[in-house]
Structure 1
Amino acid sequence: MEFAELDPRLKQELQRLSDETEIEDRFYRHLEFGTGGLRGVIGAGTNRMNVYTVRRATEGLARYLLKYVDHAREKGVVIAYDSRRMSPEFAAEAAGVLTQNGIRAYLFEELRPTPMLSFAVRHLQAAAGIVITASHNPPEYNGYKVYGEDGGQIPPQTADRILSEINAVENELLIPALTIEEAMAKGLLQWLGEEIDREYTNRLLSLSLHPETVKQVADDFRIVFTPLHGTGNKPVRRALKELGFQHVHVVKEQELPDPDFSTVSSPNPEERQAFELALQLAKQIDADIVIGTDPDADRVGVVTRTADGEYVALNGNQTGALLLQYLLEQRKATGKLPANGVVLKTIVTSELGRAIASAYNVTTVDVLTGFKFIGEKINEYETTGEYSFLLGYEESYGYLIGDFVRDKDAVQTAMMCCEMAAFYKTKGSALHDVLQQIYNTHGYYVEDLSSFTFKGKQGLEKINRMMDEMRRQPLTAIGNLAVKQSKDYLPGIDGLPKANVLKYILEDDSWVAIRPSGTEPKIKFYFSAIDKTREAAEAKLQMLKSFVLDLVNQRAV
């Protein structure tokens, strides 16, 4: 607080602090920079998101680019931001630090989805990209994600190099930054808008497998869409309109950007509550499909109808299975399924995708949790030609079909889900019916996720202690099922980088995985049960959950 030029709002916030535990949490470390960049609560302190932590990260990124990326100044960095508090301000600060270092900044003129940032980096052949977002975190959070030249999230080795440069910054309070006006006067800042939007939309439309089907059902196919107060509103509606859908009904209460996400307890399409208003509208208009995108529009949730007219939310694994079935089935039917096709999924994503892909002689490759690893594999196969990319997805509602983007893309997924639903409608089926057909063919795969949040320094210590305990006393059975294979990804196995993940594969190929979150103070437990009937699979799932969570409660003390 002795720094004379300290941001007045942050200074007032610090002056109000009296709780020693909160003061410690704000200052016991610098907000951690990892492969997901920064993410934290907005506020004063080194362990918070504010103009100084953003300047510090950007100064480190600038030094990294000037040291390791050829022609970084001329190539420049693309910057996008979402609808959260301070997002435009943080984006401007990042542009100011980059241009102070002589690096060109491309700044979107208003909020844009994360996948459009990825696209723009590739389209402009920029040196890097930054997106200011905290995805679907609560309103008090914001974040800062870095993308490489390929448009993908930075891999661990790049993050380590950037972190090294960040740690070399002596005092974040003294980092110089140009104003937007100064950067423009120097010719170092360029605004992005309609030109990028048009190029991106054209690429989206090129993904369509059955544009004629959309036109065929356009008169009576009804879509309900909610952007959940985020960035998806304009790009999703534009893509759906240009593909030919005529009846797209947007949830008015959630249409416009709102940093408080005032109509939901969490702006997360993984949670049923986020769809309450959308479902009310769907019932009013008799909608065929309901879709919702998270604030930075990289994740999408889908609700479909059953045969008796009820609306059922699909989980991330189910949407992935449906997309995969549609893409492979229709590409094969039209002679466009490559002989060396590959599907990429994470180690905590359902094995149902592998079963579907195998039926079409398509290879499935597993990667660690985090879409950056899917992006890395796409880049690798593009270089080697070993495989042709078909679909990348993860259980947490992230999907990628067209590799002109190198991160999960809710805009292209929303468009393809609507096309898929329209196509199956012409065959007399809803997505729920198609999913049942998939289960009847491959068996019932049911999954669930349980998360525990432990806040602050003590919470992080508790999570670490829990993982250590699980490693010291590995499980040999879970309930009445023996452990067939115990996988610890910490040393680096299966050709994957090191990861703090434990996975138990059981005798019937059901499995349980345990993973601390890399961006939130959470530890996550993933469950997958397989059986011949839904009832048997769900009973097995409950058994797995009860056993493991009882064990966790004992060890979390």
Structure 2
Amino acid sequence: MVDEQVLARAAAWRDAEPDEDIRAELTELIAGPIDTLVARFADRLQFGTAGLRGPVGAGPLRMNRLVVRQAAAGLARYVVATWPDAAERGIIIGFDARRKSDNFALDTARVVAAAGVRALLLPTPLPTPVLAWNITEHNAIAGVVVTASHNPAVDNGYKVYLGDGAQIVSPHDAAIAACIDLFDPCTVELAAIDHPLIERLDGSAEARYLAAIPSLRFRPDVDGVGVAYTAMHGVGGATLLRAFEQARLPRPFVVAAQQQPDPAFPTVAFPNPEEHGAMDLLLEQAHESHALLALANDPDADRLGAAIPTLDGGWRRLTGDELGWLLGDHILRHTSGDDRLVVTTLVSSSLLGRMAAAAGVQFRETYTGFKWIGRTVLDHPELRFVFGYEQALGYLVCQRPMDKDGITAAVMMAEVAALAAHEGVTLQQRLDALADQFGRHVTAERSLRIDPIQAARNVAALRDRPPTEVAGLAVTNVEWFDEAGLLRIWLNDIRLQVRPSGTEPKVKLYGEAIGTDPDLYLAALAELL
């Protein structure tokens, strides 16, 4: 009986599926082993604070147009039920260049319009920060961007913002998910492509975002230096070049093989600047062009990676924290007032807090994920936000959008490099000066691949029975951050942290020490999991 129900459900999905390739995949699944079909229809992609993300494919556990239509219907239902002016303000929709992103975006617009809500559709694949910036620019009630960010080529995703320009957090995610449950993905109503509620925006959406770029410069009097850049086959390349032009910075030396969007990401195994090998072509370009800085966006350009020259003629990738320290130092030195606010996350380095204290500005530490940085800023309207970052290459160097922005961070980092050269120092010397002032903060990360349910159990068990020593050093304090599911263990000045990943089957471990490498202690802590 169960098998017959699954077969009937799969047939309904096949009949409703608009894309021939996904329909063919469903036909093959139906004709194949029943266990495989049952597994494919046993659950569905779960909507959370990160929206939806998964491989493109057939059925409810994959990203496809039926899953997207159901999500769009739930989102439209939620905003209409929650805000009286939602239909008039509308939902703005952007997309990247991944497989089927354009169709997912158009389907979202058609579903939203069918629900009686304005749908504002960006005209071409654009960086996620352009979409996020335009939410408040158009006074939209919400925003959607179709992207899987830095995930592998097989994936796509669906990220949701609220009208304040920040990503959703609890309880909005659960409420939207409940509304999604109300719809059958095979029967979601679609408006006509030319429905009057579907407004196709023009190039002014990007132009307005770029018009704000010159205001980022603290030292426009300083000439720029050579910068190498890669878009990593994503959608950031053209926008970044225009941003540098707007900022009156020299045109970067681009990695030509990675400049144009390509959903196959043919030159990188994993299109994430954090991954070893992902920046190899960039470093070759930086060496050949005698650049003083190398910058990499991830495919949707909301993250930024960087590398700097070394004394032996090579290049060194900066950690996410090091890049955050350089940006934070630059901003704190060129702003004033005790109402300034800087924000970082629990798992990022503690150095920004020390820098903030020395500068006499407000500092907040929040949960993992840039959505929490945005929420922290919005929760403190009495303060003047100037900088926020997370160690996973997310940076915000201006007051809009309320999300990480790899384009504006790249412009700011180019100015940091230019000013250092103008003052006769290297970027490494800038980092050394911070170490001299605050102590040399050394960070390390590890991850263990574990089933998500077991990962949460293991971290909870460690919380309930914390160790008394790690690698021969006594545990001096233990802290638990319930909403983040994060355990913090202190060994005097050495800080160790562990949490289950919210998006991957992993436990993540983070270490920080002053003047010593914490990796030995992370390895010992990992053994306890």
Say if 2:160 is the partner of 1:175.
Answer: no
Question: CA separation in 2, counterparts of 1:275 and 1:441?
Answer: 31
Query: Deviation string for 1:491-538 (max 9, x for gaps)?
Result: xxxxxxx22222212212x2111122222232211111222xxxxx12
Look up the match of 1:295: 299
Say if 2:454 is the partner of 1:462.
Answer: yes
Is 2:122–2:205's contact at 8 Å kept on the other side of the alignment? no
Is 1:83–1:259's contact at 8 Å kept on the other side of the alignment? yes
Q: Give 3-state SS (helix, strand or coil) of 2:252's partner.
A: strand
- Report 1:78-477 matches (<5 A): 78-169=92-183, 171-181=184-194, 183=195, 187-214=196-223, 218=224, 221-331=225-335, 337-382=336-381, 385=382, 387-454=383-450, 459-477=451-469
Amino acid at match of 2:519: Q
Q: Give 3-state SS (helix, strand or coil) of 2:279's partner.
A: helix
Q: Residues 44 and 453 of structure 1: is their aligned pair in 2 closer, same or farther, counting only changes over 3 Å?
A: farther
Q: Residues 15 and 303 of structure 1: is their aligned pair in 2 closer, same or farther, counting only changes over 3 Å?
A: same
Look up the match of 2:83: 69
Report the more deviating stretch, 188-197 or 430-439: 188-197
Give the superposition deviation at 1:19. Answer: 6.0
Look up the match of 2:28: 16
Amino acid at match of 1:246: P
Q: Residues 438 and 179 of structure 1: is their aligned pair in 2 closer, same or farther, counting only changes over 3 Å?
A: same
Question: CA separation in 2, counterparts of 1:46 and 1:405?
Answer: 32
Question: CA separation in 1, counterparts of 2:57 and 2:325?
Answer: 41
Report the more deviating stretch, 461-470 or 373-382: 461-470
Question: CA separation in 2, counterparts of 1:425 and 1:25?
Answer: 58
Amino acid at match of 2:189: P
Report the more deviating stretch, 296-305 or 513-522: 513-522
Q: Residues 366 and 21 of structure 1: is their aligned pair in 2 closer, same or farther, counting only changes over 3 Å?
A: farther
Is 1:115–1:406's contact at 8 Å kept on the other side of the alignment? no
Q: Give 3-state SS (helix, strand or coil) of 2:132's partner.
A: helix
Is 1:73–1:103's contact at 8 Å kept on the other side of the alignment? yes
Quote the RMSD (CA, aligned, Å): 1.6
Amino acid at match of 1:284: E
Is 1:25–1:47's contact at 8 Å kept on the other side of the alignment? no
Say if 2:10 is the partner of 1:29.
Answer: no
Is 2:292–2:309's contact at 8 Å kept on the other side of the alignment? yes
Q: Residues 327 and 25 of structure 1: is their aligned pair in 2 closer, same or farther, counting only changes over 3 Å?
A: farther
Is 1:378–1:403's contact at 8 Å kept on the other side of the alignment? no
Report the more deviating stretch, 40-49 or 19-28: 19-28
Question: CA separation in 2, counterparts of 1:155 and 1:105?
Answer: 22
Look up the match of 2:4: none
Give the superposition deviation at 1:330. Answer: 2.3
Q: Give 3-state SS (helix, strand or coil) of 1:512's partner.
A: strand
Give the superposition deviation at 1:281. Answer: 1.2
Is 2:211–2:246's contact at 8 Å kept on the other side of the alignment? no
Give the length in aligned residue pairs. Answer: 515
Q: Residues 192 and 475 of structure 1: is their aligned pair in 2 closer, same or farther, counting only changes over 3 Å?
A: farther
Amino acid at match of 2:354: A
- 5+ residue gaps in structure 2? 1-9
Q: Residues 202 and 6 of structure 1: is their aligned pair in 2 closer, same or farther, counting only changes over 3 Å?
A: closer
Amino acid at match of 1:422: A
Give the superposition deviation at 1:276. Answer: 0.6
Q: Residues 294 and 21 of structure 1: is their aligned pair in 2 closer, same or farther, counting only changes over 3 Å?
A: farther
For 1:6, which of 1, 4, 17 is the aligned residue? 17
Question: CA separation in 2, counterparts of 1:20 and 1:447?
Answer: 48
- 5+ residue gaps in structure 1? 332-336, 491-497, 532-536, 553-557
Question: CA separation in 1, counterparts of 2:364 and 2:330?
Answer: 19
Question: CA separation in 1, counterparts of 2:242 and 2:251?
Answer: 12
- Report 1:503-518 matches (<5 A): 503-508=488-493, 510-518=494-502
Q: Give 3-state SS (helix, strand or coil) of 1:273's partner.
A: coil
Q: TM-score, normalised by structure 2?
A: 0.94
Question: CA separation in 2, counterparts of 1:430 and 1:279?
Answer: 17
Look up the match of 1:52: 66
Give the superposition deviation at 1:357. Answer: 1.4
Question: CA separation in 2, counterparts of 1:440 and 1:485?
Answer: 27
Percent identity, aligned pairs only?
Answer: 34
Amino acid at match of 1:413: A
Amino acid at match of 2:11: E
Amino acid at match of 1:124: H
Question: CA separation in 2, counterparts of 1:372 and 1:343?
Answer: 15
Is 2:444–2:519's contact at 8 Å kept on the other side of the alignment? no
Give the superposition deviation at 1:25. Answer: 4.6
Question: CA separation in 1, counterparts of 2:448 and 2:456?
Answer: 13
Look up the match of 1:495: none
Give the superposition deviation at 1:20. Answer: 6.5
Q: Give 3-state SS (helix, strand or coil) of 2:416's partner.
A: helix
Look up the match of 1:547: 524
